[in-house]
Chain A
Amino acid sequence: GAVVSQHPSRVICKSGTSVKIECRSLDFQATTMFWYRQFPKQSLMLMATSNEGSKATYEQGVEKDKFLINHASLTLSTLTVTSAHPEDSSFYICSASPGDRSSYNEQFFGPGTRLTVL
């Protein structure tokens, strides 16, 4: 089946630094990638949708200058948490879809990245 990887799996950083998380589709081309955030014992919340070669679409309440998303190729999207603070500590999950909007319901998920900001 389709595989999506994330790197790193865990990261600990100091407050005020920036952290980059990579999401790769390993055996298919991902027209669209999605970034989710999960708080403990809560559901996954969609942060943004990114299409290769264009700007990401952010969900209401998500700061686009805080969470920078780049989808430079059909197999790679990156999420950069800028000037991270302890409240940004969370589990970040990406997913990838091989198709256009008509097939967004077909998403393949990465294993997630645990971010801890000290």
Chain B
Amino acid sequence: GDSVTQMEGPVTLSEEAFLTINCTYTATGYPSLFWYVQYPGEGLQLLLKATKADDKGSNKGFEATYRKETTSFHLEKGSVQVSDSAVYFCALYNFNKFYFGSGTKLNVKP
């Protein structure tokens, strides 16, 4: 069945460092891909999405490109801030259902 695998955390970076969180997926058909972010005590918030191959989703300096050939949707940011500390979930949407990765906790130190 469909599934999402993302790198385990926590990931600890210094402020202004480059961020990559890996995400790969297994799916039939043509899923849409998403990154959600969860801040402490809050619900998951949509960060960015891509609906077809080679699309690039971007928001708040974060980017991810839908790579069908490598079945990947890696999240990147050129310069992280302390305020980016949160848990990040990769997800795919296919046939009216979401499938989530296990989440990656990001800690950014000043």
Interface residues of A (CB under 8 A from B): 1, 4, 6, 9, 34, 36, 41-44, 46, 93, 95, 101, 104-105, 107-112
Contacts and interface: CB of A to CB of B under 8 A. Distances in A.
Contacts of A110: 43
A33 to B, nearest CB: 13
A32 B18 CA distance: 38
Contacts, number: 45
In the A-B complex, list the 6 residue pairs whose CB atoms are closest, starting with the nearest. Answer: A109-B43, A109-B44, A43-B100, A44-B100, A105-B93, A111-B43
Please classify the interface of chain B as helix (H, G, I), strand (E, B), loop, or mixed, using the class held by over half of its residues.
strand
B101 A43 contact: yes
Contact of B44 (A1, A93, A101): A93
Interface string B95-106: 011111111000
Interface string B74-94: 000000000000000100010
Q: Quick one: which of A1, A44, A101, A111 has the most chain B CB within 10 A?
A: A44
A110 B43 CA distance: 5
A107 B103 CA distance: 18
Question: Size band of the B side of the interface?
Answer: 20 to 34
Contacts of A111: 41-43
B102 A93 contact: no
Given A43-B4, A111-B42, 14 more contacts: A1-B45, A9-B41, A34-B98, A42-B102, A43-B89, A43-B99, A43-B103, A46-B97, A46-B98, A95-B43, A95-B44, A101-B96, A104-B96, A111-B41
